[in-house]
Amino acid sequence: MPELPEVEIVRQSLNKKIKQKKVKKVIIRNRNLRLKIPSNFITYFLNKKIIKVGRFSKYLIIYLPEENYCLIHLGMSGTLHVVKNKSVNKYTNTSFYNSPFLPKKHNHVELVFENFKIIYNDPRRFGFFQLIKNNTDLIKRFNHLGPEPFDKNFNLDYVYNFFKNKNKDIKNFLLDQKLVSGIGNIYASEILYLSKVNPFKKVKLLSKKECQKIIINSRKILLKAISKGGSSIRDFKDTSGLKGGFQNEFKVYQQEGELCKNKGCSDFIKKKITSNRSTFFCDSCQK
């Protein structure tokens, strides 16, 4: 599943392409995604100019006229493809997940503009589109989620108090979107390695210094991932023919059996599977 940096890369690609562009036609081939596409979906978009594309956590937000919004969540396998009219489209995918080319099957939604179209492809159909009718409802929609790592509210007082007397381990808490929004499995392992905190340490045992390290390194890792174009786990390219580069920066993720990269450490990176998720860590460095 795409994490915050990968969704941000999609946002940047989409915003560059569709901002201030008018939708000429809407085609829905399959309404049955994780949430059924509502009957008024076409009226939200048809002949409307896209104001901009925003993002919160792992959600894309299409800003429409009259304070209307459309949320897009890519789920496990959703991708958005830019297909140009009357030209060869070598790479169409706005992200680095799944095929870099537009697949022939599972193209559920098309937004048609003057010289190109945006196509939503999703083989597993866990993604969704959701219409929001005003700004108040948009804010309410995210009430159940914690702040993003870049938010000023994701600070030491907030984190330390959130952890107080709780028995869950820190890795699981970083994946808990109620604490902080947008961090997934890849970046949680990298953040904790950089912070030198054991992923299985109970949060009630974390010191303020360790909490502060986690906050700072959450921002550092995610910003670096965004600057590198996200993580391209497989050899796929985006619409510009570029690959995500953060996978070249991995210190622990998918590094099982490799020598720890911390200076002076002679231990090897280990992997442990809990709740069907792989956690990568160094026993010596992460206490």
Question: Do the beta carbons of residue 206 and residue 189 sit within 8 Å?
Answer: no
Question: What SS3 state is found at 81?
Answer: strand
234 is catalytic: no
**3, 6, 8, 210: the active-site residue:** 3
Set 48, 125, 261, 277: catalytic member: 277
Q: Name the DSSP letter for residue 243.
A: P
* Phi, psi for residue 132 in degrees, rounded to 5: -125, 130
Amino acid in position 4: L
Torsion of CA 249, 251, 257, 260, to 10 degrees: 130
List the catalytic residue out of 11, 17, 55, 58: 58
141 among known catalytic residues: no
Has 2 been annotated as catalytic?
Answer: yes
CB 106 within 8 A of CB 122: yes
Cα gap 8→255, rounded to integer Å: 25
> Catalytic residue among 2, 5, 147, 149, which?
2
171 among known catalytic residues: no
The string of DSSP codes covering 123-154 is SS---EEEEE-SHHHHHHHTTTS---TTSTTS
In contact, 71 and 60? CB cutoff 8 Å = yes
Strand order of the sheet with strand 59-64? 52-56, 59-64, 68-73, 128-132
Which residues belong to the active site? Answer: 2-3, 58, 277
